[in-house]
Amino acid sequence: MALADLLTPEAVVPHLRPPSKKAALHELAAHAARLTGLDERAIFETLLQRERLGSTGIGEGIAIPHGKLPGLSRMFGLMARLDKPIEFESLDGQPVDLLFLLLAPEGAGADHLKALASVARALRQPGAPERIRKARDADALYAVLTQATSPRAA
């Protein structure tokens, strides 16, 4: 699954300034609610519940907060780049500045895990984090993200 299948240009936030992990999850939930029409509080609670199981910080400054929600008709992705890295309890202990929110329909099953694996692979491709960090605006960031996982780039 390519990131272009999960992400729209509107779902790219090039400058986010949360002071903490909880604030970052809240801001992601707010953006996702505006784009999906789902309840912001429900999204936030879903993300918090998942983080209580263990951090979604996968290392190299990257986190992939995710969860399943009733009322969602398809997989939804949202990419946010933080202006300043925050503590996220990542696997490698490093702060996080790249967040990819992944929301799946409640009955997504294995498709949710496949999408999660695709996002992790795309974001951890050699050079991908650096290209994402250097993108100048939302359009450039979207182009970097979707080009990295296009069939031509594979």
Read out DSSP for 23-49?
A: HHHHHHHHHHHHHH---HHHHHHHHHH
Domain hosting 58: range is 3-148
pLDDT, position 21: 97
d(CA 94, CA 146): 26
Residue 78 lies in a domain: yes
Q: H or E stretch including 64?
A: none
120 HSE (CA, 13 A, CB side): 14
In a domain, 99, yes or no: yes
Residue 153 inside a domain? The answer is no
- Among 7, 8, 146, 18, smallest CA distance to 82 is for 18
In a domain? residue 103: yes
CATH of the domain at 130: 3.40.930.10
Alpha-carbon distance of 69 to 33, in angstroms, equals: 12
User: What residues are annotated to the active site?
Assistant: 66
- Residue 154 lies inside a defined structural domain of this protein: no
Question: What CA–CA distance (Å, rounded) separates 92 from 85?
Answer: 14
Nearest-CA neighbor of 141 among 15, 41, 39? Answer: 15
pLDDT at residue 37 in the model: 95
Tell me the C-alpha distance between 121 and 64, whole Å. 11
**Domain count across the chain:** 1
9 falls within a domain: yes
Q: Is the pTM of this model over 0.95?
A: no
pLDDT in tens, the chain (154 residues): 788 889 999 999 999 999 999 999 999 999 999 999 999 999 999 999 999 999 999 999 999 999 999 999 999 999 999 999 999 999 999 999 999 999 999 988 889 999 999 999 999 999 999 999 999 999 999 999 998 544 433 3
Residue 65 lies in a domain: yes
In a domain, 47, yes or no: yes
The predicted pLDDT at position 82 comes to 97
